[in-house]
């Protein structure tokens, strides 16, 4: 995308600077007037991937629920032991009200920071996030060599997720972030999880990472990762929602050109 069209899009969608995505006030303001925005894709697009990993007896933690309907969809599948957190108090209040109005009163919605999870060790069978980890990279600079602050945030998140997962728990990360950028973080030696991913989406690829705690094998090395060719993001400018396009561009488009 050339500079002019990028700036034009930025002026009409999303915040004036992508740094706003790191600011809780931005999300509070946004959720005050917005009732539903589904980042990446809705549940129907990755249901087939999730179903292999979550059962009605699973205890599930969703990070950064926003005003997504992912937890509604999981609930409809019979998964009732669900806890959602978000940094935004407005998102939490609105989500609580929406779920109560639907009669989904078992779902817990709490204000919380995924960089400092308040849950006890080994509390959940599954931790899931969609588009929330991506937020941590909006100011990461060169994705091949992300700024230390972005790496620090991402590692704080992953350490918390690893800690609150049960011994054979699963972390599901549904993301724009590409495997060659996520892999160095996921595969830090302190983590015992195995790493796999699938993709979904018709033209543009979204990534569905599955990290299984306690399942790391000696072969879970970089060389073992299935390589997915992701054509330049420019091809998909018209396919992505305007704001998703801007968000995705800032996360790791620089990587597409190498
Ligand atoms: C890109 S939106 C994704 C929302 C939702 N998961 C979806 O798929 O539509 C990011 C969400 O993460 C929340 N968020 C940002 N930083 C967070 C943090 N440190 N802890 C918890 N939630 C956070 C924001 O308030 C926002 O709701």
Average pLDDT, the chain: 85
Catalogue the E-assigned strands of 10-153.
60-63, 82-86, 108-111, 124-130
Structure tokens at 199: 């993709």
Angle (CA) 65-69-72 rounded to 5° is: 105
CA–CA gap between residue 205 and residue 22 (Å, rounded): 24
Quote the ligand 1 centre to 122 CA distance (angstroms): 23
Q: What pLDDT sits at residue 17?
A: 84
Q: Where does ligand 1 bind, in terms of residues with CB under 6 Å?
A: 27, 38-39, 63-66, 68, 85-88, 91, 113-115, 130-132, 135
Q: What pLDDT sits at residue 231?
A: 42
Q: The pTM is what? A: 0.87
Please determine, for residue 1, whether its predicted confidence score (pLDDT) is greater than 70: no
Q: What pLDDT sits at residue 4?
A: 40
Q: What pLDDT sits at residue 219?
A: 61
Quote the ligand 1 centre to 219 CA distance (angstroms): 33
Tell me the per-residue pLDDT of 180-193, one tens digit each, with 9 for 90 and over.
899 999 999 999 99
The whole-number average pLDDT for the span 118-125 is 98
Tell me the per-residue pLDDT of 12-25, one tens digit each, with 9 for 90 and over.
467 888 888 989 99
Which numbered atom of ligand 1 lies nearest the CA of 24? 25
Q: What pLDDT sits at residue 230?
A: 42
Angle (CA) 219-134-228 rounded to 5° is: 45
Please determine, for residue 164, whether its predicted confidence score (pLDDT) is greater than 80: yes
């Amino acid at each position: 995308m050339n500079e002019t069209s990028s700036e034009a899009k930025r002026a009409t969608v999303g915040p004036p600077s992508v740094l706003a995505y790191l600011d809780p006030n931005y999300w509070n303001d946004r959720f005050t007037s917005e009732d539903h925005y589904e980042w990446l894709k809705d549940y129907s697009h990755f249901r087939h991937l999730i179903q292999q990993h979550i059962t009605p007896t699973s205890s599930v933690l969703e990070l950064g629920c926003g005003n997504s309907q992912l937890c509604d969809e999981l609930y409809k599948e019979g998964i009732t032991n669900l806890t959602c957190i978000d940094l935004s108090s407005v998102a939490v209040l609105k989500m609580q009200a929406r779920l109560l109005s639907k009669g989904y009163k078992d779902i817990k919605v709490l204000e919380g920071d995924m960089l400092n999870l308040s849950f006890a060790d080994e509390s959940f069978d599954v931790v899931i996030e969609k588009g929330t980890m991506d937020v941590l990279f909006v100011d990461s600079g060169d994705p091949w060599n992300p700024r230390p602050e972005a790496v620090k945030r991402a590692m704080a998140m992953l350490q918390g997720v690893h800690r609150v997962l049960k011994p054979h728990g699963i972390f599901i990360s549904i993301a724009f972030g590409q495997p060659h950028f996520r892999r160095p973080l996921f595969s830090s030696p302190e983590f015992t999880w195995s790493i796999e991913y699938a993709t979904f989406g018709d033209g543009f690829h979204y990534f569905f990472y599955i990290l299984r705690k306690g399942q790391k094998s000696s072969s879970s090395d970089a060389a073992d990762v299935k390589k997915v060719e992701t054509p330049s993001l420019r091809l998909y400018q018209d396919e992505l929602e305007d704001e998703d396009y801007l968000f995705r561009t800032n996360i790791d488009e620089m990587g597409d050109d190498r």
